[in-house]
């Protein structure tokens, strides 16, 4: 019998409150091109594959990058490149338990089933839980953000800033590097996007996993130069910007990271990265309103 | 009462390589010509073969931010500006990237009853009519309804 009960912001919240009912799924026989279209249209990071309407597997953007790397034709069935089995939970399971299952299995999403285990009724993704945390923290009367604002009489300078939370380690590839090098860089460091530098060492663009699967879909050869498909210019926020402003930018643009410039030098000089998960960890882990309200970031 | 008897033979198409901005222009142009709202268009390749469909719903679904539920709670965000910013970031997306490729079609000799059944069962509002791999027309749910209504009115008289 444990004497100490750990309480977090998610204590008592069931998966049903964080899940999305829309599940992007396709038959395992559908081709890679269809899978990519579904991911783009629904802004999904993975597609559930079914066999005779029964959940059969999951294919993620990372799996598709592997297929692109191996130059597998986009007419190939998704079932041939799927990475893992779907992991399921129930809507009345707790969000905390769902996060633990995700960590143990090394996945970012769980599928939610009802009494019939073959019928998927929703999906709960790590990013959705972060979004839920953001909403709870924002609404919390006892939270750090509210208190700081109250004590400073509404002065926004007392609020959290991007520089307090960002990571200063920035990885990049050259604009002449091949997409193969970019894929290797993204997968080895488990990143969602990488900065692209020109020969003058200025950051000129960004390539995300989504950019790469679009290139795969459009038939761009993996040996092509990064400069051909990068998104340009780099959208960056100043290090002095309010954390809440940066979070809004991420949610509006549907990205899970923002690059940060120091404001003193030119905007092309990137000094850090702000990930949605960094922001979530900081908000929950540093706030005394939730005892041990720490969201483990993986 | 076959598809060829009541299908629209005047229709507008999109090309797979058109981008989102061009799609908006094409929808506006088609609506102006037809003098009615056009909610979906067929996508054809250079040989006029049907390769997909793109509906207004598909485009809206893509334009919408994923975490839209949070927007309601952001009282300091101007939704108009947020939408403008979004449109500027998504303009490189092409028709081929988001269109539906799993399209249900009928032939010119498909019967009205079969067409009505497909529309009801599969919740489809428009069906391309294909003859020898080429698009020859489109049947809207309104075509089907009007044809059935005309039949009933004629019987009454």
What contacts B42, CB < 8 A, 6 or more positions away?
Answer: B11, B13, B14, B50, B52, B53, B128, B135, B138
* Dist. CA B53–CA A13, nearest whole Å: 41
Please state the φ and ψ torsions of residue A80, each to the nearest 5 degrees. -80, -15
How confident is the model at residue A53, as a pLDDT? Answer: 86
Contact between B97 and A34 using a beta-carbon 8 Å cutoff: no
Q: Which comes out higher in pLDDT, residue A37 or A139?
A: A37
Angle CA B100–B105–B111, to nearest 5? 155
Residue whose structure tokens are 């009801």: B120
* Dist. CA A222–CA A78, nearest whole Å: 19
The CATH H-level superfamily of A152-285 is CBS-domain (3.10.580.10)
How confident is the model at residue A286, as a pLDDT? Answer: 46
Tens of pLDDT along A267-298? 557 888 888 767 666 554 445 445 444 444 44
Question: Which ranges constitute the DSSP H helices of chain B?
Answer: 3-6, 20-34, 56-63, 68-71, 79-90, 95-98, 112-122, 141-156
Are A207 and A230 contacting, i.e. CB atoms less than 8 angstroms apart? Answer: yes
Contact between A40 and B58 using a beta-carbon 8 Å cutoff: no
Best A252, A253, A280 member to test B by mutation, with max B CBs in 10 Å, is: A252
* Dist. CA A88–CA A58, nearest whole Å: 12
Tens of pLDDT along B12-61? 999 999 998 899 899 999 999 988 888 889 999 998 899 999 998 888 88
Q: Does B77 touch chain A (CB under 8 A)?
A: yes
Are B119 and B127 contacting, i.e. CB atoms less than 8 angstroms apart? Answer: yes
Residues of A in contact with B99 (CB under 8 A): 37
Tens of pLDDT along A125-160? 887 777 777 666 666 666 655 665 566 555 554 567
Taking residue A248's Cβ as centre, other Cβ atoms within 10 Å add up to 18
Tens of pLDDT along A193-246? 899 998 888 888 999 999 999 999 999 999 999 999 998 888 888 888 887 778
pTM score, two decimals? 0.81
How confident is the model at residue A284, as a pLDDT? Answer: 47
Residues of B in contact with A41 (CB under 8 A): 58, 61-62, 97-98
Q: For domain A15-131, give its CATH number from 3.10.580.10, 3.30.70.3270, 1.10.10.10, 3.30.559.10.
A: 3.10.580.10
Tens of pLDDT along B130-149? 998 889 999 999 889 988 88
Contact between A252 and B65 using a beta-carbon 8 Å cutoff: yes
pLDDT mean over A106-115: 88
Nearest to A40 among B74, B98, B102 (CB): B98
Strand residues in A100-182 grouped as ranges (E): 109-113, 120-125, 172-174
Residue of A nearest to B90 (CA): A253
* Dist. CA B6–CA B110, nearest whole Å: 11
Instruction: Note whether A15-131 and A152-285 share their fold.
Output: yes
* Dist. CA A8–CA A280, nearest whole Å: 13
What contacts A48, CB < 8 A, 6 or more positions away?
Answer: A23, A24, A25, A26, A55, A57, A58, A86, A111, A120, A123
First CA to last CA distance, chain B? 20
* Dist. CA A110–CA A89, nearest whole Å: 7
Contact between A253 and B86 using a beta-carbon 8 Å cutoff: yes
Give the closest-approach CA distance of A252 to chain B in angstroms: 6
Taking residue A282's Cβ as centre, other Cβ atoms within 10 Å add up to 19
How confident is the model at residue A145, as a pLDDT? Answer: 56
What SS3 class is residue A287? coil
Q: Which comes out higher in pLDDT, residue A26 or B156?
A: A26
Contact between A42 and B101 using a beta-carbon 8 Å cutoff: no
How confident is the model at residue A85, as a pLDDT? Answer: 85
Are A246 and A274 contacting, i.e. CB atoms less than 8 angstroms apart? Answer: yes
Residues of A in contact with B97 (CB under 8 A): 36-37, 40-41, 214, 217-218
> Tokens standing for A107?
């996945």
Residue B128 binned pLDDT confidence (cut-offs 50, 70, 90): very high
Contact between B89 and A138 using a beta-carbon 8 Å cutoff: no
Residues 16-55 of B with CB under 8 A from A: none
Tens of pLDDT along A71-96? 999 999 999 998 888 898 999 998 88
Contact between A40 and B71 using a beta-carbon 8 Å cutoff: no
Contact between B82 and A252 using a beta-carbon 8 Å cutoff: yes
Domain boundary assignment for chain A = 15-131, 152-285
Element containing residue A128 per DSSP (H, E): helix A126-139
* Dist. CA A125–CA A133, nearest whole Å: 13
Q: Which domains does chain B have, with CATH numbers?
A: 3-156 (3.10.580.10)
Are A45 and A83 contacting, i.e. CB atoms less than 8 angstroms apart? Answer: no
How confident is the model at residue A246, as a pLDDT? Answer: 81
Residues of A with CB under 8 A from a CB of B: 33-34, 36-37, 40-43, 131, 134-135, 138-139, 214, 217-218, 231, 248, 251-254
> Tokens standing for A108?
């970012």
> Tokens standing for A101?
């299952």
Closest C-alpha to A218, from B100, B98, B85, B105: B98
Contact between B73 and A139 using a beta-carbon 8 Å cutoff: yes
How confident is the model at residue A293, as a pLDDT? Answer: 45
Residues of B in contact with A214 (CB under 8 A): 93, 97
């Amino acid at each position: 019998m444990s004497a100490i009960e750990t309480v977090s912001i998610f204590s008592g919240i069931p998966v049903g409150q964080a899940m999305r009912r829309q599940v992007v799924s396709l038959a395992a026989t559908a081709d890679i091109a269809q899978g990519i279209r579904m991911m783009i249209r629904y802004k999904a990071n993975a597609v559930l594959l079914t066999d005779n309407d029964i959940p059969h597997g999951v294919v993620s953007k990372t799996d598709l990058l592997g297929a692109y790397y191996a130059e597998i034709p986009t007419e190939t069935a998704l079932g041939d490149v799927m990475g893992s089995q779907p992991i399921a939970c129930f809507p009345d399971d707790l969000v905390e338990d769902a996060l633990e299952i995700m960590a143990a299995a090394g996945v970012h999403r769980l599928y939610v089933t009802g009494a019939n285990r073959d019928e998927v009724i929703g999906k709960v993704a790590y990013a959705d839980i972060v979004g839920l945390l953001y909403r709870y923290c924002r609404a919390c009367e006892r939270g750090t953000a509210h208190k700081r604002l109250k004590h400073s009489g509404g002065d926004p300078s007392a609020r959290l800033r991007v520089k307090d939370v960002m990571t200063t380690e920035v990885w990049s590839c050259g604009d002449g590097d091949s997409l193969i090098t970019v894929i290797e860089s993204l997968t080895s460091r488990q990143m969602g996007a990488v900065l692209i530098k020109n020969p003058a060492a200025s950051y000129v663009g960004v390539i995300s996993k989504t950019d790469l699967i679009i290139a795969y879909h459009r038939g761009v050869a993996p040996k092509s130069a990064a400069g051909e498909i990068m998104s340009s210019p780099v959208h960056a926020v100043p290090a002095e910007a309010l954390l809440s402003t940066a979070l809004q930018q991420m949610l509006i643009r549907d990205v899970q990271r923002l690059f940060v410039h120091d404001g003193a030098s030119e905007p092309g000089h990137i000094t850090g990265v702000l990930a949605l998960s960094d922001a979530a960890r900081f908000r929950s882990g540093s706030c005394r309103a939730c005892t041990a309200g720490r969201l483990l970031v993986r | 009462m076959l598809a060829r008897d009541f299908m629209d033979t005047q229709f507008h198409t999109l090309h797979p390589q058109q981008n989102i901005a061009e799609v908006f222009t094409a929808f506006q142009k088609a609506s102006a010509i037809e003098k009615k709202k056009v909610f979906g268009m067929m996508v054809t390749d250079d040989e006029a073969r049907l390769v997909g469909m793109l509906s207004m719903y598909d485009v809206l679904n893509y334009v919408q931010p994923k975490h839209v539920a949070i927007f309601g709670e952001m009282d300091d965000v101007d939704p108009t500006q947020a939408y403008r910013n979004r449109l500027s970031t998504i303009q490189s997306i092409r028709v081929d990237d988001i269109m539906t490729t799993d399209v249900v079609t009928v032939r010119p000799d498909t019967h009205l009853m079969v067409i009505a059944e497909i529309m009801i069962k599969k919740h489809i509002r428009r069906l391309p009519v294909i003859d020898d791999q080429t698009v020859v027309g489109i049947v809207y749910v309104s075509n089907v309804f009007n044809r059935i209504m005309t039949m009933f009115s004629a019987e009454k008289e």
